[in-house]
Amino acid sequence: MALRLGDIAPDFEQDSSEGRIRFHAWLGDSWGVLFSHPADYTPVCTTELGLTARLKDEFARRGVKAIALSVDTVDSHRGWIADINETQSTEVNFPILADADRKVSQLYDMIHPNANETLTVRSLFIIDPNKKVRLIITYPASTGRNFNEVLRVIDSLQLTDSHSVATPGNWQDGDDVVIVPSLKDEAVLREKFPKGYQAVRPYLRLTPQPNK
């Protein structure tokens, strides 16, 4: 059955470039980004892994752990990591799961027969500290991921988990946000949003980002 938003991310134990990983224990109380690759030594994925490594401080600032997956072996991963470090001018600083038996790929529904019967599709999952899946994005092999968007979504999820707001289209950290329609009591609104709000429509109320 396909994994859906709000589901508990399946736990697993699997080898990686940094040793054996027990996924839920490894995540602990952190947010997580799990993203898959069809095989080692693939060009688009090489650039993505380099970018992820360079974003280490941005992920850490948000309390996020990154972990990748490829269906090749740990030894193959180590050779690929050396290439990534050299060609992308960085140091890979997160584990890459060695999913040779496709165990994790199957758990996370990463194999789509209409795309390829054996290779994992390039899916990305954002998982919260309660181990719930909060975002799933699947990319074609030819299109590199936009990690600025991944960070933007994490910012939105963390903000909206803490305040009674949603983030509008093209929102960036620091922009105005939308008050959720279910919040109607004026006394509560004044308390929660002391900077006030603009009611464009009764259901569309904009307010400055509460945590700024």
Domain boundaries, the chain: 13-145, 163-207
| 121 has a pLDDT exceeding 70 | no
CA 23/CA 13 separation, integer angstroms: 6
Find the catalytic residue in 21, 27, 33, 45: 45
pLDDT value of position 117:
46
Mean pLDDT of the 94-99 span: 96
| 120 has a pLDDT exceeding 70 | no
| 114 has a pLDDT exceeding 50 | no
For residue 68, list its beta bridge partners.
35, 96
* pLDDT tens digits, 53-62: 999 999 999 9
| 113 has a pLDDT exceeding 60 | no
Q: Among this protein's residues, is 74 annotated catalytic?
A: no
- Characterize the bridge pairing of strands 122-127 and 96-98: unpaired
Tell me, what amino acid is at 191?
E
CA 183/CA 191 separation, integer angstroms: 12
| Residue the block writes with tokens 């180590």 | 78
CA 51/CA 151 separation, integer angstroms: 12
| pTM assigned to the model | 0.92
* pLDDT tens digits, 19-77: 999 999 999 999 999 999 888 998 999 999 999 999 999 999 999 999 999 989 999 99
Enter the tokens of residue 49.
């892994």
* pLDDT tens digits, 134-192: 999 988 878 899 999 999 999 999 999 999 999 999 999 999 999 999 999 999 999 99
CATH assignment of 13-145?
3.40.30.10
CA 86/CA 99 separation, integer angstroms: 24
pLDDT value of position 112:
54
Mean pLDDT of the 7-12 span: 97
pLDDT category of residue 118 using cuts at 50, 70 and 90:
very low
